[in-house]
Amino acid sequence: MKTRRIGPFEVSAIGLGCMNLSHAYGTPPSRAEAAAVLNGALDNGVTLFDTAALYGFGANEELVGEVLAMHRERIVLTSKCGMQGVDGVRVIDGRPDTIRVSVDASLKRLRTDVIDVLYLHRLDAKVPVEDSVGAMAELVRAGKVRALGLSEVSATTLRRAHAVHPITALQSEYSLWTRNPELGALQACRELGVAFVAFSPLARGFLGGELRDVNALAPKDIRRAMPRFSPQHYAANLKLLDAFQDEAHQLRCAPATLALAWLLHQGEDIVPIPGTSQAAHLWELLAAPQLTLDGATLARLDALINQRTVSGARYNEATQAEIDTEEF
């Protein structure tokens, strides 16, 4: 496995996003299946594992802690605060006191004394980012956290936070079909020396090529509330997927491998964290660093799937109101 850097940490070029082992995309896999994914990733060179207090309302951190605690010295462990489940409801809360309590609970669930990178999961519109990051910086000084990150924030917010305490990583959605980081966040990261961690690099499963019928999504699958996955918009997007799969076929690789390889070619400072609920799919993800794309292929992919050709908004209006990133 090739490596890249996130601040002081050398990590696998492909990390593992652990969310869908407990949360968001319909019925999670069984405990045994989830453990097989985590162990399979570890055995094949993955050293970066990403979770959050929100995922499964704590269940994902418990899973990651249970399976990977014995391998703690081999991995870079990241989690998130500032958005969690309260009485069964998702709540954004970036108040300093809430962050302190949340991180103590995360450490217990993760079975560790320290989180390598702690992200502010969402900017709380009612709390200045300086206050939230200030509380997180206290946790660094207390030895509970090694480095700080932000998730889904704009370049302006990143700069404000960085002035309070050095930010090691910015995590946001980035893929062929979500180009928002190109509006300013990537440039700000490079100016400040901040790594960019790309979540949903497979476009929430779209670029994996297997999701053909959105009507088959589970009732509580979060994609049902995303405009791009509505039947009308998805029918249009499937036309892009057909052409994308043709490109992968020409390169004799899986569509997921091609999607991640495109992302890796966007800069050495970018680390994708795809997720999967099936250990059998790990090879598609982990093959990406070995796939070299020439300029002509990159140009065709850029022209095929981008903010102008994708049908539908990234989020619905209610969710978009909670997001601080730049928007087209």
CATH number at residue 204: 3.20.20.100
For residue 248, what are the domain limits? 3-320
Q: How large is the average pLDDT for residues 132-144?
A: 98
- What tens digit of pLDDT does each residue of 76-126 get? 999 999 999 999 899 999 999 999 999 999 999 999 999 999 999 999 999
Please indicate, yes or no, if residue 326 is contained in any of the structural domains: no
Q: Which pLDDT value is given to residue 149?
A: 98
Mean pLDDT along residues 146-172:
98
**In the structure, what pLDDT confidence band is assigned to residue 23 with cuts at 50, 70 and 90?**
confident
The answer to whether 93 and 82 are in contact (CB under 8 A) is yes
Tell me whether residue 135 is in a domain. yes
pTM of model > 0.85: yes
pLDDT of residue 307: 95
Q: What is the pLDDT of residue 225?
A: 96
Task: Output the average pLDDT for the chain.
Answer: 97
Q: Count the domains in the chain.
A: 1
325 domain-assigned: no
Residue 241 maps to a domain? yes
Distance set, CA 83 to CA 40, 52, 123, 198 (Å): 29, 9, 9, 19
**Cα gap 257→152, rounded to integer Å:** 24
Catalytic amino acids? 55
| Residue 152 in domain | yes
Q: Residue 304: what are its φ and ψ, rounded to 5°?
A: -75, -50
Q: Is residue 71 part of a domain?
A: yes
| 327 within some domain | no
How many Cα atoms within 13 Å fall on the side-chain side of residue 84? 25
Confidence tier at 275 by pLDDT (50, 70, 90): very high
pLDDT of 253: 98
Q: What percentage of the chain reaches a pLDDT higher than 70?
A: 100
**Cα–Cα distances in Å, from 13 out to 38, 57, 171, 264, 299?**
16, 28, 15, 8, 23
Q: What is the pLDDT of residues 207-223, one digit of tens each?
A: 999 999 999 999 999 99
pLDDT of residue 144: 98
Mean pLDDT throughout 122-142?
98
Q: Are the C-beta atoms of residues 4 and 48 closer than 8 Å to each other?
A: no
The gap from C-alpha 100 to its chain's centroid, in whole angstroms, comes to 23
Asked whether the predicted pLDDT for residue 316 surpasses 90, the reply is: yes
In a domain? residue 328: no
pLDDT at 312: 98
Angle at 144 between CA 142 and CA 148, to 5 degrees: 100
Q: pLDDT at position 26, please? A: 86
